[in-house]
Structure 1
């Protein structure tokens, strides 16, 4: 398999077992395709957040694995403003047939409003789907005993990317703990470098990268049980454990000389532009925390293992964790061609095919895929680690994506932006808590 010793060593340090993804060449656990008969002339509309090369890859897979064999015409459309645009379409009575949500909380919200259609009512065998994806991921779209979201991809979030040439020239060691990370950052400043490139700009979704930092810290500092309670609002946003996580994060944000542009500039730096800062012999910064997909946005020609490397987000108080994210496909119109699209798009062949596209970092949640699906060595190893963590129960999904959308993709994002711009974090966390829906 396509591994490098550097990445394997780094990810092994995160205590995730790097075992090969299960499966083989058969489709064990996959529901059969071709059950809906001739679909010639039918159309399926699919709407989601991935754009650019990832959107092109999705359409290429749809064309080869669904359109050509069935005679149907399915088209994927991506938008950088997906969260707001999909709601506008739903409110206007013109939803897509299928929406691919980055926030499972939004899937549950659509189910609660009566807009989404359950997998059970469409005739899907939930036990088979649980074998294909695991019950944890499938449960993320569950509402009142039925399932409304089917996993289409995941990514591994607990990663810090770094400039290899400077690390090697200065003899910097990979930090194992958060205190080590702070000490390393202080040493970098003393040596004349800026440690961190952080950007949270993301059009209508500005602020979400800061929530990822908070989630990684809560998972490690407060533990998985508190993390799960936070997701369900049993642990409120103004709980001391969440406030303490923000204070820990602020050791980076407010560290003297730690962040390119300073704390207040972070919301104005597009997250897609931020990783470029760590590339080069005289980089603007030396480290960048972001999920495995960020390789899509590294400058052309930058090489993993030469120009940049990666290490796992360090432990806090001896605790590790694996923060993941991903997307769930949700159906708004139950027709034969829509059901067939779901079957085809989530089976092993189509899922594996997405890993063969250059610059695409989508990781399949289908456990019948293997690391050999991925041409990119970084993505291949991240895929192994992600699926291993899911099997071992050490993974937790992005908290903000699990929360009700008015919180997870609303007040939480906004609070992070206001905090960066000088707001009081305790007051802002109380405002987020007050925005949590009463039912």
Structure 2
């Protein structure tokens, strides 16, 4: 079925330079006569596979609009190291899609970044909730444009497993655990937990903490203004430990979870031989369920919002990739044009149609998304406005919140292995955080 274009004003979007951005004025990328013809724009990002292919469609649309040739480099997960080595080698990319707030701040404080243009700033003010500008800014200067977002407060489930257990999508955390035990009693463990990938465990903690402790405490902990030994942290770990310690709720128990990576956790729910009824993670679960296992999203793979914990509000935790311009990039004009283009609903619509993508740009019509489930997750993200909180581990120094085998990732894996002492885990987290933030 053909999708409707992003808004009525874009019902006939053209990729000429005079195209009008949905809900805004003329797109400034490149000027009026393909002024970037003959020039090359280099872009680096963590993406590979399907994500890289879909982002290439955005790059191709930019080429059609401006005449610029594009070169893409996949950095892998260690963006900071790869970009740093390229800068030292005199081969800096023009634009980097940065996946962590902490890394964006690190780049800015090292003096690697050029502020975004006033035109991009105006587009952000008009199309984004203020929280996204805050996450893209350092000391009041806007360096990062959040082009791609993730909704990390979604729990994915098998409707067949729920039907067999006689349960419906829950609205509260305790109800979710009760429903999970009913699923287990009907023949499947409740959750596939991707404990081999420590980042998934940070996401579990963050949703519980945001709902239990509230956004003010969440922000303070993210900035390390309160210690990880704070009672609110111990309370959230205790709540998470109730799940981790219940073998009926976790496929394979703690040992099985620690041997399951993120794609494997999705396979355990939506693969050919289901081993669990639910998997918690972001909207990107849908892409794996659909592309790798042929599930029809909304029919035999569905989601419910991460439920509110014990009287708190339902959390909305997000992540995202921000476009930044490097000072040492060789083509500043193309970089400015590209970041201005990414700020338009037109650019977001290209990837939204391809799938596996959410935009924080509220001017993008949700009709641009390819299915009802994506539209629902996009609407939830936009509706949350400033209540959205960015992934806490992504705001931390990478040594604490974003490195395999150390810091928060490792300590929460240890907690999954033995969740009997939340206070001791909190103390270990504080020791690691204090060292990383001081460094």
Scaled by the length of structure 1, what TM-score is found?
0.86
CA distance, structure 2, for counterparts of residue 212 and residue 171 of structure 1? 28
1:331 to 319, 325, 331: 325
SS in 2 for 1:100: strand
Contact conserved, 1:23 with 1:368, CA < 8 A, in 2? no
Higher alpha-carbon deviation: 65-74 or 381-390: 65-74
Q: Residues 141-184 of structure 1: CA distance to partner in whole angstroms, max 9, x if unpaired?
A: 21122111111111211111111112112211322211112222
1:416 to 408, 412, 421: 412
Q: Report the CA distance shift for 1:94/1:241 in structure 2 as closer, same or farther (over 3 A).
A: farther
CA distance, structure 1, for counterparts of residue 77 and residue 256 of structure 2? 22
Contact conserved, 2:143 with 2:324, CA < 8 A, in 1? yes
Name the residue aligned to 1:187: 182
SS in 2 for 1:272: helix
Q: Report the CA distance shift for 1:39/1:164 in structure 2 as closer, same or farther (over 3 A).
A: same
In the TM superposition, residue 344 of structure 1 has moved relative to its aligned partner by 1.9
Name the residue aligned to 1:400: 393
Name the residue aligned to 2:358: 363
CA distance, structure 1, for counterparts of residue 379 and residue 2 of structure 2? 11
In the TM superposition, residue 211 of structure 1 has moved relative to its aligned partner by 0.6
CA distance, structure 2, for counterparts of residue 2 and residue 322 of structure 1? 31
In the TM superposition, residue 221 of structure 1 has moved relative to its aligned partner by 0.7
In the TM superposition, residue 232 of structure 1 has moved relative to its aligned partner by 1.5
Higher alpha-carbon deviation: 267-276 or 413-422: 413-422
Contact conserved, 2:188 with 2:276, CA < 8 A, in 1? yes
Task: Tell whether 2:370 aligns with 1:379.
Answer: no
Name the residue aligned to 1:10: none
Higher alpha-carbon deviation: 410-419 or 30-39: 30-39
In the TM superposition, residue 352 of structure 1 has moved relative to its aligned partner by 0.8
Contact conserved, 1:406 with 1:436, CA < 8 A, in 2? yes
Contact conserved, 1:106 with 1:405, CA < 8 A, in 2? yes
Name the residue aligned to 1:11: none
SS in 2 for 1:185: helix
Name the residue aligned to 2:309: 316
CA distance, structure 1, for counterparts of residue 202 and residue 402 of structure 2? 10
1:208 to 199, 212, 223: 199
Name the residue aligned to 1:62: 59
Task: Tell whether 2:149 aligns with 1:154.
Answer: yes
1:32 to 24, 28, 33: 28
Gaps of 5+ in 1: 4-20
In the TM superposition, residue 290 of structure 1 has moved relative to its aligned partner by 0.9
Higher alpha-carbon deviation: 48-57 or 73-82: 73-82
Contact conserved, 2:402 with 2:409, CA < 8 A, in 1? yes
Name the residue aligned to 2:437: 437
SS in 2 for 1:437: helix
In the TM superposition, residue 346 of structure 1 has moved relative to its aligned partner by 2.8
Name the residue aligned to 1:296: 287
Scaled by the length of structure 2, what TM-score is found?
0.86
In the TM superposition, residue 193 of structure 1 has moved relative to its aligned partner by 2.2
CA distance, structure 2, for counterparts of residue 23 and residue 382 of structure 1? 22
Name the residue aligned to 2:72: 76
In the TM superposition, residue 128 of structure 1 has moved relative to its aligned partner by 3.7
In the TM superposition, residue 88 of structure 1 has moved relative to its aligned partner by 4.0
Name the residue aligned to 1:276: 267
Output aligned runs, 1:34-113, within 5 Å.
34-35=30-31, 38-63=35-60, 65-83=61-79, 84-90=81-87, 92-113=89-110
Cα RMSD after superposing both structures: 2.6
CA distance, structure 1, for counterparts of residue 203 and residue 2 of structure 2? 28
Task: Tell whether 2:113 aligns with 1:144.
Answer: no
Contact conserved, 1:278 with 1:285, CA < 8 A, in 2? yes
Contact conserved, 2:254 with 2:416, CA < 8 A, in 1? yes
Q: Residues 336-394 of structure 1: CA distance to partner in whole angstroms, max 9, x if unpaired?
A: 1111111223322121111111xx3211222211111111221112111111111xx32
Number of aligned residues = 411
CA distance, structure 2, for counterparts of residue 66 and residue 413 of structure 1? 37
CA distance, structure 2, for counterparts of residue 296 and residue 114 of structure 1? 36
CA distance, structure 1, for counterparts of residue 303 and residue 140 of structure 2? 40
Name the residue aligned to 2:214: 223
Q: Report the CA distance shift for 1:76/1:335 in structure 2 as closer, same or farther (over 3 A).
A: same
CA distance, structure 2, for counterparts of residue 44 and residue 200 of structure 1? 38
Contact conserved, 1:174 with 1:311, CA < 8 A, in 2? yes
CA distance, structure 1, for counterparts of residue 191 and residue 8 of structure 2? 39
Output aligned runs, 1:340-355, within 5 Å.
340-355=337-352
SS in 2 for 1:350: helix
